[in-house]
Amino acid sequence: MTGTRLLRTTAIAALAAGAACHGDHEPPHLAMERTGAVTDVAGSKPNVHLVSPLPNGEWRLPSGDYANTRFSPLNQINTSNAQNLHVLTTASTGVPHGHEGGPLVVNNVMYVVTPFPNNLIAIDLHKPSGAIKFIYQPHPDPRAVGIACCDVVNRGASYADGKIIYNLLDAETVAVDANSGAEVWRTRVGNIDIGETTTMAALVVKDKVLVGSSGGELGVRGWMAALDVATGKEVWRAYATGPDADVLIGSEFHAFYPKDQAPNQGVTTWAGEQWKLGGANPWGWISYDPELNLVYYGTGNPGVWNPDLRPGDNKWSCSIIARNPDNGHAVWATQLVPHDHHDYDEIMENVLVDMDWPQDGKLQKQRKLLLHPGRTGFMYVMDRRTGEILSAEKYVESTNWARRYDLKTGLPDEDVTKHTGSGKIVEDICPSSTGAKDFTPSAFSPLTGLLYIPAHNTCMNYEGIEANYIAGTPYLGADVKMYPGPGGFQGELVAWDPVAAKKVWGVREDKLPVYSGVLATGGNLVFYGTMDGFFRALDARTGTMLFQFHAGSGIVGNPITYQGPDGKQYVAVYAGVGGWMGAVASPDVSADDPYAGLGVVGAMKELKKVTGLGDTLYVFGL
Partner 1 sequence: MRRASTSQEHQREQRRDGRQDMSRPSRLTAPLLRLSGLVGSLALLSVPACTRAASAVEGGQASAGARPATAALGQATTRPVEDQPVGPVPGIGDVPPLANPLQGDRSALQEGRRLFVRYNCSGCHGGRAGGGMGPSLRDPSWLYGSTPDRIFSSIAQGRGHGMPSWGVRLPEKQLWELTLYVSSLRTPDEPEAP
Toward partner 1, which CB reaches closer, 252 or 479?
479
Considering only 325, 387, 599, 621, the residue that binds partner 1 (CB under 8 A) is 599
Residues ≥6 apart with Cβ < 8 Å to 66: 51, 52, 53, 203, 205, 287, 288, 289, 290, 352
Toward partner 1, which CB reaches closer, 194 or 292?
194
Toward partner 1, which CB reaches closer, 276 or 541?
276
Considering only 452, 475, 528, 535, the residue that binds partner 1 (CB under 8 A) is 475
Q: Which residues pair with 223 in a beta bridge?
A: 239
586 binds partner 1 (CB under 8 A): yes
The one-letter amino acid code at 126 reads: H
Closest distance to partner 1 from the beta carbon of 581 (Å)? 12
Between vectors from CA 224 to CA 220 and to CA 228, what angle results, nearest 5°?
135
Establish whether the linkage from the previous residue to 304 is cis, with ω within 30° of 0: yes
Toward partner 1, which CB reaches closer, 124 or 177?
177
372 closest CA partner among 463, 471, 286 = 286
32 closest CA partner among 177, 175, 205, 208 = 205
Closest distance to partner 1 from the beta carbon of 472 (Å)? 6
Toward partner 1, which CB reaches closer, 264 or 473?
473
- Strand segments, DSSP code E, in 290-347 are 294-298, 319-323, 330-335
Toward partner 1, which CB reaches closer, 15 or 480?
480
Helix (H) or strand (E) holding 504: strand 502-509
3-state DSSP assignment of residue 336? coil
Toward partner 1, which CB reaches closer, 4 or 154?
154
Closest distance to partner 1 from the beta carbon of 434 (Å)? 13
68 closest CA partner among 377, 289, 336, 366 = 289
Residues ≥6 apart with Cβ < 8 Å to 37: 53, 54, 55, 56, 65
Considering only 276, 329, 508, 608, the residue that binds partner 1 (CB under 8 A) is 276
3-state DSSP assignment of residue 309? helix
449 binds partner 1 (CB under 8 A): no
137 binds partner 1 (CB under 8 A): no
260 in catalytic set: no
476 binds partner 1 (CB under 8 A): yes
- Strand segments, DSSP code E, in 216-298 are 223-228, 234-239, 287-289, 294-298
Q: Based on the number of CB atoms within 10 Å of its own CB, is 504 exposed (0-12), middle (13-18) or buried (19 or more)?
A: middle
* 235-264: contacts with partner 1 (CB under 8 A): 237
Applying CB under 8 A, which part among 137-145, 289-297, 495-503, 611-619 lies near partner 1? 137-145
217 in catalytic set: yes
Applying CB under 8 A, which part among 123-131, 154-162, 270-278, 339-347 lies near partner 1? 270-278
349 in catalytic set: no
428 binds partner 1 (CB under 8 A): no
Toward partner 1, which CB reaches closer, 36 or 472?
472
Considering only 37, 589, 603, 619, the residue that binds partner 1 (CB under 8 A) is 589
Q: How many amino acids of this chain bind partner 1 (CB under 8 A)?
A: 62
184 binds partner 1 (CB under 8 A): yes
Phi, psi of 444 (to 5 degrees): -120, 135
3-state DSSP assignment of residue 457? coil
* Residues in the chain, overall count: 622
The site map against partner 1 for 190-219 (x = CB under 8 A) is: xx-xx----------------------x--
Applying CB under 8 A, which part among 65-73, 179-187, 402-410, 506-514 lies near partner 1? 179-187
CA–CA separation, 200 vs 211, rounded Å?
A: 7
Applying CB under 8 A, which part among 30-38, 273-281, 390-398, 408-416 lies near partner 1? 273-281
CB atoms within 10 A of CB 24: 9
Residues catalogued as catalytic: 217, 301, 343
Positions in the binding site for partner 1 (CB under 8 A): 142-150, 183-191, 193-194, 217, 221, 227, 231-234, 237, 273, 276-277, 465-466, 468-476, 479-481, 583, 586-601
